[in-house]
Amino acid sequence: MNSRKLPAQQPLIGVGLRHPHLKEALDTPSQLDFVEVHSENYFAQGGPLHAQLEHIAHHYPLSLHSTAMGVGSATPMHDDYLNKLSHLIELTNPILVSDHAAFCWGSINGAPVHSGDLLPLVYNQENLQIMVRNLDRIQQQLGRAVHIENLSTYLTLPGSTMTELEFLLCLHERTQCGLLVDLNNILVNAFNAKDESPLETGIHWIKSIPHNVIKEIHLAGFSSPILGNMAVDDHACAVSETCWSLYAATIAHHGAIPTLIEWDNALPEWQVLVNQAMHARTIAYEVLNHG
């Protein structure tokens, strides 16, 4: 396992690693401190994917980011899913484990279904209680903290009695989970809410979080929506200037926090992705050392 020594006050900087970049990530030396993979992509019990994962974990500290736990589901997740995730964690000993404040599990006409997408929660006590129950079960079985990410949402379910951030902070208080703050998701939601100043909204959002609660930051970009349409969090382009500004404000307020560049669709060259990570490192260095 890689054990890079870092200068003081520098966050770990990583990228989301997808299959097309695997060879270069393994063959090309880079300044990355960790890589993050989607857990479900490695749920196979054997085969080439397992071998790949072993290589990745040998080269880089690994973060496991799940997209299908559905921690806010009223229907409990399948044991089978949790067993696979537990096995993956045993296999790779990741530095971070995370998923989203979303629901995925349910049924349609009595038949079990998984949404295959991150569906929005109702921000009220009822959903909070479910999320606490599910997260307690997950953290107990996995034997470690799971960080929970704020969500890009495209519709609002009726019945919310608090904001998303209030909901997440209550969840943190009751489960001791860390927050994975996706700065791009804050901006996508602000854009879709026709917020006139997404950056200011984002900074207010970030400053409302107590220190030491944020355990990871995600940075990403979203494609320009067709006029009048909603923005979709497609992770298909470089981190936007607004997102970089929000990142600088976040690091300035909260200090060094592990930071990840997410780019999942229309993948660029590996070096472009690495350069984005290096840009994050530069911003963090400037902010933390020169104010």
Binding site for other proteins (CB under 8 A): 40, 43-51, 68-70, 73-75, 77-78, 80-81, 84, 103-109, 111-117, 119, 122, 126-127, 129-130, 153-159, 229-230, 232
- Return the number of the residue (129 or 282) whose C-beta is nearest other proteins: 129
Specify the amino acid at residue 134. N
- Return the number of the residue (230 or 272) whose C-beta is nearest other proteins: 230
Task: Write down the least CB distance from residue 1 to other proteins, Å.
Answer: 22
Task: Write down the least CB distance from residue 204 to other proteins, Å.
Answer: 24
How far is residue 10 from each of residues 4, 7, 34, 258, 263, measured CA to CA in Å?
A: 12, 6, 13, 9, 22
- Return the number of the residue (130 or 274) whose C-beta is nearest other proteins: 130
The two tokens of residue 39 are 């857990």
State the residue for tokens 């200011």. 200
Task: Write down the least CB distance from residue 126 to other proteins, Å.
Answer: 5
Task: Write down the least CB distance from residue 127 to other proteins, Å.
Answer: 6
Q: Which long-range contacts (CB under 8 A, 24 or more apart) does 21-24 make?
A: 21/267, 21/270, 21/273, 22/52, 22/56, 24/270
- Return the number of the residue (37 or 68) whose C-beta is nearest other proteins: 68
Residue 185's closest CA among 159, 158, 205, 214?
205
- Residue pair 218/276 in contact by the 8 Å Cβ criterion: no
Task: Write down the least CB distance from residue 115 to other proteins, Å.
Answer: 6
- Return the number of the residue (133 or 253) whose C-beta is nearest other proteins: 133
Return all residues near 221 (Cβ < 8 A) that are at least 6 apart.
184, 235, 236, 237, 238, 239, 240, 243, 263
Task: Write down the least CB distance from residue 262 to other proteins, Å.
Answer: 16
Return all residues near 124 (Cβ < 8 A) that are at least 6 apart.
159, 160, 161, 162
- Return the number of the residue (14 or 120) whose C-beta is nearest other proteins: 120
Crossing angle of helices 270-290 and 241-254, rounded to 10°: 40
* Dist. CA 190–CA 270, nearest whole Å: 30
Q: Is 66 helix (H, G, I), strand (E, B) or coil?
A: coil
- Residue pair 236/268 in contact by the 8 Å Cβ criterion: no
Task: Write down the least CB distance from residue 131 to other proteins, Å.
Answer: 11
Task: Write down the least CB distance from residue 128 to other proteins, Å.
Answer: 10
- Return the number of the residue (157 or 288) whose C-beta is nearest other proteins: 157
* Dist. CA 60–CA 226, nearest whole Å: 38
- Return the number of the residue (8 or 111) whose C-beta is nearest other proteins: 111
